[in-house]
């Protein structure tokens, strides 16, 4: 297979620049053990590999779209579909439910607009706001417990 | 209004962290898988169109042979009256 052609070179440059952050997003979602301590994060890697493959499959067609947004959407959809199969790990967001993790990562970490996040996750904007507030208060370092108990 | 923002900033700082190491050859393997995906999708599309065309052709031949739009001659004659 000739991978030297233009689209592949573009794709390779995109992956070189974006894969680190995308893998971080994937690890946040799967809440696998901290990769800084040498953990492998196989689920996050698998999710990212699948999302990148689907991005490459329509690489030529979506010139207008940002490939980063596109891959992140694929990643989130793939995680949402398979989240139930994977037990929570020991990552930062392990105490949150999968929808809370998705909303928190998209809204707070990635700064995606409420409406866009809602459309991507198939939720209403109100539901996204509720999940985001709940996740933020659960993640607050000190006051998290009290807020969780009250909710 | 500044309260939720401050909370969000705290949580964002918690989420920020060193990016994990990306496995080597990720782009190449993803591209290969993407190509395979694309080829499979194209093959499925071709198969679907082939089946559709074959169905249309079979229907056309059948219609030309049997003329389903003509009313079959009635086997019942009208009642004989008035003689």
Please give the pLDDT value at position B13: 87
Higher pLDDT, A26 or A37: A26
Instruction: For chains A and B, count residue pairs whose Cβ atoms are closer than 8 Å.
Output: 98
Say if B69 falls within a structural domain: no
Higher pLDDT, B65 or B74: B65
Chain B residue with CA closest to A39: the answer is: B20
Say if B71 falls within a structural domain: no
The answer to whether residue A16 neighbours chain B at the CB level (below 8 Å) is yes
| Nearest-neighbour CA in chain B from A122: distance (Å) | 23
The answer to whether residue A33 neighbours chain B at the CB level (below 8 Å) is no
Domain residues for the domain of B37 are 28-64
pLDDT in tens, A72-114: 999 999 999 998 887 767 888 888 999 999 999 999 999 999 9
The answer to whether residue A53 neighbours chain B at the CB level (below 8 Å) is yes
Above 90 in pLDDT, residue A4?
no
Q: Is the ipTM of this complex over 0.85?
A: no
Please give the pLDDT value at position B79: 85
Say if B70 falls within a structural domain: no
DSSP sequence for A63-94: SSS-HHHHHHHHHHHHHHHHGGGS---SSTTT
Above 80 in pLDDT, residue B5?
no
Above 90 in pLDDT, residue A127?
yes
The 10 Å Cβ neighbour count of residue A100 is: 19
CA B21 remoteness from chain centre: 37
Of the pLDDT bands very low, low, confident and very high (cuts 50, 70, 90), residue B12 is confident
**Structure-token match 């949402």, residue found:** A80
Say if B1 falls within a structural domain: no
Nearest to B61, CA basis, from B51, B53, B50: B53
Above 80 in pLDDT, residue A148?
no
Please give the pLDDT value at position A147: 41
Of the pLDDT bands very low, low, confident and very high (cuts 50, 70, 90), residue A145 is very low
Say if B49 falls within a structural domain: yes
Higher pLDDT, A54 or A142: A54
Mean pLDDT of A59-77: 86
CB-nearest to B8 from A50, A92, A136 is A136
């Amino acid at each position: 297979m000739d991978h030297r052609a233009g689209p592949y070179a573009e794709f390779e440059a995109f992956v070189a620049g974006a894969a680190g952050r995308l893998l971080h997003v994937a690890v946040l979602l799967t809440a696998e053990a901290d990769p800084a301590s040498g953990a492998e994060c196989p689920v996050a890697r698998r999710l990212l590999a699948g999302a990148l493959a689907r991005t490459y499959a329509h690489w030529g067609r979506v010139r207008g779209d940002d490939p980063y947004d596109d891959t992140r959407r694929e990643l989130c959809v793939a995680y949402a579909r398979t989240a139930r199969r994977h037990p929570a790990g020991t990552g930062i967001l392990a105490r949150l439910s999968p929808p809370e993790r998705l909303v928190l990562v998209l809204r707070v970490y990635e700064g995606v607009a409420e409406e866009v996040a809602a459309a991507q996750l198939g939720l209403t904007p109100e539901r996204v706001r509720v999940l985001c507030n709940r996740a933020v208060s659960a993640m607050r370092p000190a006051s998290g417990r009290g807020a969780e108990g009250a909710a | 209004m500044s309260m939720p923002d401050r909370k969000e900033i705290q949580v964002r700082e918690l989420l920020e962290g060193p990016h994990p190491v990306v496995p080597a050859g990720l782009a190449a393997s993803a591209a290969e898988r993407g190509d395979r995906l694309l080829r499979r999708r194209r093959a499925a599309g071709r198969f679907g169109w082939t089946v559709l065309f074959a169905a249309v052709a079979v229907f056309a031949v059948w219609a030309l042979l049997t003329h389903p739009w003509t009313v079959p001659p009635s086997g019942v004659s009208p009642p004989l009256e008035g003689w």
